[in-house]
Amino acid sequence: MIDVHCHLLPEVDDGPRTIEASLQLARRAVEEGVTSIVVTPHAYHPYFETRHHNVALEVAQLQQRLDEEGISLTLYVGQEIRIFGELVEALESGEAHSLAGSRYVLVELPSQSIPAYTEALFFQLQTAGYIPVIAHPERNHELALHPEKLHHLVSSGALSQVTTSSLTGQFGRQVRELALTFISNGLSQIIASDAHNVEHRDFNWRAAKQEVVNELGEEMWEQHLHFTEQILANKQIAMNPPRLPEKNWRGRWKW
Contact 176, 210 (CB under 8 A): no
Closest CA to 100 of 232, 3, 254, 7: 232
pTM of this prediction? 0.95
With H, G, I as helix, E, B as strand and everything else as coil, classify residue 205: helix
The pLDDT tens digits of the residues spanning 83-116 come to 999 999 999 999 999 999 999 999 999 999 999 9
The full set of domains in the chain, from first to last, is: 2-232 (3.20.20.140)
As averages over each run of 10 residues, the pLDDT of the chain (255 residues) reads 96 90 96 97 85 90 97 98 97 96 97 96 98 98 96 97 96 95 96 92 94 96 95 93 83 74
Span 44-93, pLDDT tens digits: 987 877 778 899 999 999 999 999 999 999 999 999 999 999 999 999 99
Q: Does residue 161 contact residue 187 with C-beta atoms inside 8 Å? A: no
